[in-house]
Structure 1
Amino acid sequence: MELQTFRNTVAGQEVESASGRWLASANPFTGQDWSRIPRCDSEDVERAVMAAHSAFVSGDWPRMTATARGKLLRRLADLIERDAAKLAALEVRDNGKLHAEMLGQVKYLPEYYHYFGGLADKVEGSVLPSDKPDMFTYTKHEPLGVVVCITPWNSPLLLLTWKLAAALAAGNTVVIKPSEFTSASTLAFAGLFREAGFPDGVVNTVTGYGHEIGDALVQHPKVAKIAFTGGDATGARVYAGAAKSLKHVALELGGKSPNIIFEDAVLDDAVKGAISGIFAASGQTCIAGSRLLVQRSVYDEVTSRVVAFASTARMGDPMQPDTQVGPITTTAQREKVLDYIRIARDEGARCVLGGKVPEDPSLAEGWFVEPTIFADVSNDMRIAREEVFGPVLSIIPFEDEADAIRIANDTIYGLAAGVWTQDMRRAITMADALQAGTVWVNTYRAVSFLAPFGGYKQSGIGRENGQEAIHEFMQTKCVWLSLSRGVPNPFVLR
């Protein structure tokens, strides 16, 4: 089968790698290569970064008003809406997630670009009060420069948009490095910017292995900021590399999120929330509610209900509307998930569902792992402490609110948490006590362009989405204007 070819966009042109090398991308459902992308090296990084730098310092982009930038973002939103079906299909072929989820994500992307397009000219400086006579002082907010967006394989366009929309609204130029496993949709998406009217070089892409081009991107002297989503170990390396030249960073990293069910919860809803928290997207999401904390008085009932519900989940072709659980995106990730299942068994956790590769011959070519549930898990087990990033749920009992808070916060992560209760006092006090950037009450996996997203502790630095996000891509300048005709003593601080 001839592989579909995707090329990078640099300075408004479609380009191959400087070396002429390619990487194949496989479909996780069939296990077969279906496309190829450029395998870039440091020469390609130099070309992409310098194109972005040139576009930032000269040409139409730096002369463009914030209002004009906003119009371009809104025009881009219309093109995404037009091409949503095509882009979603590319993502499914690349990462194996459900078509219903990918299509829903891509159809929602225009909202982000409309929002930040509208926000672009709403960023205001301030006139400052002054304790110094004959002095006028004000602030203004300016773009940082070249921003590198490094994105993961689980939701390529959504997680790119969380960075890109705000970065462009703020006036930066961008180099995008998508995961080598799921670059196709990003490369197709990059072609829309020229059609939308963005000046050449404002948005550029570079593809390939992180170990071959990551350092060159992170340490390039013309790069002002790294915006990264991925695992915490890689994030730490990005952070250390960026620190060498004191670059700005935003890191959205891993999670081991607690999804907490109290005895007074509406159990039908809570069980669905538990399923959504871990088995949606085959558990391949940083906000996965992989630790299900259940009050002991309803522990057995909730466990049996969750097992019964999860056992009906239909695995299959992610393009089919009746499929509920798709494959794992990469073979390496599937092996990691299966390793954690073995570790959990060795540590004494009780496997009450799944725990292996499915036996259905129709799934044999795909990279599937059965929805897996472990009961009687203690929070000191590795299965409860380390991010699995797969369809594996750990159910942990707790006694009361204090015990739930202790267990929930006993983790290096702090990305998200869920609380299921009908008690308003409990909902508010739990939300206050939980060390997490997002807390959902009686729901799970809800995100919006309006709501800031990011982590506590080792789940990351900075916030994406909402009004806060645009300031993550700007720096503040303070301007002092002297109204005095005389210059005071030049040897003394004013």
Structure 2
Amino acid sequence: MMNSSSSCKYILTSGRDDMTSTFMQQEKLVSINPSTKQVLAEFPLMNKVEIEESIAAAAAAQKNWRKVPAPVRGELLLKIAQLLEDRAEEWGLLVTTEVGKCLRDGVAEIHRSISFLRFFAGEGYRMTGETIPSRQAGVFAYTKQQPLGTVGVITPWNVPLAIPIWKMAPALVAGNSIVWKPAPQSLMISQKFMSLLEEAGVPKNVVTMLIADGPLVSETFAADEQIKAVTFTGSTRTGQTIHQVLAPRGVRFQAEMGGKNPFIIMPDADIKQACLDIVSGGLLDAGQRCTATSRIFVHDSIYETFRDHMIATLNNVTLGLPTDESSIIGPVVDQRQYDTIRSYVEIAKSEGATLIYGEDEPEEEWAQGGFFIKPKLFDHVTQQMTIANEEIFGPVLALIQFSDFEDCLKQSNAIEYGLSSTIYTRDIATAMKYTDEIESGLVHINMPSTYSEPHMPFGGIKATGIGGFREQGSHAIKFFTEWKTVYVRT
């Protein structure tokens, strides 16, 4: 299934802590345990020729794969799901080890991945077209969906299995082959998934994996006419750069990128539950989610009460080793992410925000070996500050006080992103107005900003999304197919 090139093999190494600031050393990538800074594995980088060979192999495999009936392609997804379910704890521990998710969250990602596979398996029976009455006598007209061909898939490290699966599953059931470029921080997970696909019986080279420099992959995708589409999840800057590279050839492109997601607390809100949902939506996975809550707008009539409840809630949030059952938050993924978050904290202070929780960092021995950051809560934040506009991708929350709901909506929308949002209120009219006017692809009423379900469309607007296609749900198939209209003289 994966190219047999030796450059795709990883080399297990003894645990060393001398690799903490970069994933690339000369001609290799390394995987690092974020809890200990130990090197877990090394991966030789592929060159341009090897990337081109992977694309050619996937394109050749697609010619037979597209002939397999869609329901049968879906049955293979069910086999993959069962293999994952049988080893969920093992997979969850690998996610914890390589990217630092708390173990319960690592296992939860495995089960979420299984749900995507089972949903998209059913899409094999729903690859339908239409029969449409012709206005011409003796003509039978209908439409059908067909696969694009070979597609590029570029995925991030923060959801290292579920995101690849929710992209690959609809692509596969639609009859496409895949050239996959995973993030360097999660290559052990990615390599293991390739082995799982082979075990499940996915034909050789229907999915190939690239361990390569990102810009080189993008340039090769752009130049190779065998790549019919590219789907990407990652930062806005990277997504826009890839889009520009692909645009001259008119490659179909889908991108899900950054978020700066608001959470509005109205005077009638259930404050206790709102605080719990902010922890769930803003701090799990150390805040490293594109849908994570980051801006908390609180009505001034309950501002102090809410702030006190939020601090009390944070006092019960345990930062610790991700394998400990008591830990709610583990480390951030690497040194670069750690330094980025710390720099945003200092910028916020310099611009006048007040850090009211999280000034002290953990000093225990277990924390010294990893990239651990205590959750931060800022007060006296305005929408003009950097902390309220730029995606931090870390456990940093900003409180913004408001008195007028209309003004709050304007501030919530006054950013470049439009992924997710939440409002807490018991008033249905307020909730519906918010739903209509908030500029985000996902809207939550009295729920965490990270909540989603596999059968519902997922995606953002504004600078969060490119391409107009949604992921997840039945909408996901649309990106990976093209429509053919057929006229038959009877």
Instruction: Give the CA deviation at 1:159.
Output: 0.9
2:233 equivalent to 1:229:
yes
Counterpart residue type for residue 35 of structure 1: A
CA distance in 2, matches of 1:441, 1:284: 22
CA distance in 1, matches of 2:414, 2:192: 42
Match of 2:482 in 1: 475
Instruction: Give the CA deviation at 1:214.
Output: 3.3
Matches within 5 A, 1:288-307: 288-307=292-311
Contact 2:287–2:396, Cα closer than 8 Å, also in 1: yes
Matches within 5 A, 1:52-131: 52-57=58-63, 59=64, 61-131=65-135
Matches within 5 A, 1:448-487: 448-461=453-466, 462-483=469-490
1:247-274 CA-partner distances (Å, limit 9, x unpaired): 1111010000001111101111011112
CA distance in 2, matches of 1:98, 1:251: 27
1:62-84 CA-partner distances (Å, limit 9, x unpaired): 22111111111111111111222
2:2 equivalent to 1:10:
yes
Contact 2:359–2:376, Cα closer than 8 Å, also in 1: yes
CA distance in 1, matches of 2:358, 2:75: 50
TM-score by length of 2: 0.93
CA distance in 2, matches of 1:172, 1:293: 44
Contact 1:326–1:368, Cα closer than 8 Å, also in 2: yes
CA distance in 1, matches of 2:104, 2:218: 32
Q: 2:153 aligns with which of 144, 149, 152?
A: 149
CA 1:368–1:19: 2 relative to 1, 3 Å: closer
Give the SS at the match of 1:327.
coil
2:452 equivalent to 1:447:
yes
Match of 2:49 in 1: 43
Instruction: Give the CA deviation at 1:129.
Output: 2.8
Instruction: Give the CA deviation at 1:218.
Output: 4.2
Contact 2:218–2:245, Cα closer than 8 Å, also in 1: no
1:442-478 CA-partner distances (Å, limit 9, x unpaired): 1112221111100010111321111111112111111
CA distance in 2, matches of 1:245, 1:180: 27
Give the SS at the match of 2:444.
strand
Contact 2:10–2:41, Cα closer than 8 Å, also in 1: no
Match of 2:40 in 1: 34
CA distance in 1, matches of 2:461, 2:28: 38
Match of 1:362 in 2: 366
Instruction: Give the CA deviation at 1:18.
Output: 9.8
Contact 1:66–1:120, Cα closer than 8 Å, also in 2: yes
Where structure 2 has 5 or more consecutive residues not aligned to the other structure, the ranges are 12-26
Counterpart residue type for residue 468 of structure 1: H
Contact 1:66–1:169, Cα closer than 8 Å, also in 2: yes
CA distance in 2, matches of 1:414, 1:320: 35
Instruction: Give the CA deviation at 1:85.
Output: 1.9
Counterpart residue type for residue 29 of structure 1: S
Q: 1:331 aligns with which of 316, 330, 335?
A: 335
Match of 2:346 in 1: 342
Contact 2:419–2:440, Cα closer than 8 Å, also in 1: yes
Match of 2:24 in 1: none
Match of 1:6 in 2: none
Matches within 5 A, 1:54-453: 54-57=60-63, 59=64, 61-355=65-359, 357-444=361-448, 445-453=450-458
Contact 2:321–2:366, Cα closer than 8 Å, also in 1: no
Match of 2:20 in 1: none
Give the SS at the match of 1:470.
helix
Counterpart residue type for residue 199 of structure 2: E
TM-score by length of 1: 0.92
CA distance in 1, matches of 2:10, 2:438: 50
CA 1:22–1:124: 2 relative to 1, 3 Å: same
Contact 1:262–1:295, Cα closer than 8 Å, also in 2: yes
Contact 1:351–1:374, Cα closer than 8 Å, also in 2: yes
CA 1:38–1:285: 2 relative to 1, 3 Å: same
Contact 1:56–1:172, Cα closer than 8 Å, also in 2: yes
CA distance in 1, matches of 2:89, 2:7: 26
1:286-310 CA-partner distances (Å, limit 9, x unpaired): 0011001111111111112112211
Counterpart residue type for residue 470 of structure 2: R
Q: Quick check: 84-93 or 99-108, which moved more?
A: 84-93
Instruction: Give the CA deviation at 1:433.
Output: 1.1
CA 1:209–1:89: 2 relative to 1, 3 Å: farther
How well do the aligned residues superpose, as a CA RMSD in angstroms? Answer: 1.8
CA distance in 1, matches of 2:225, 2:90: 37
CA distance in 1, matches of 2:464, 2:415: 10
1:39-98 CA-partner distances (Å, limit 9, x unpaired): 2221221121111100112x3x12211111111111111111122222222211111111
CA 1:47–1:86: 2 relative to 1, 3 Å: farther
Where structure 1 has 5 or more consecutive residues not aligned to the other structure, the ranges are 1-8, 484-494
Contact 1:373–1:393, Cα closer than 8 Å, also in 2: yes
Contact 2:61–2:177, Cα closer than 8 Å, also in 1: yes
CA distance in 1, matches of 2:267, 2:212: 49
Contact 2:222–2:249, Cα closer than 8 Å, also in 1: no
Instruction: Give the CA deviation at 1:311.
Output: 2.8
Number of equivalent positions = 472
Instruction: Give the CA deviation at 1:277.
Output: 2.0
Q: Percent identity?
A: 32
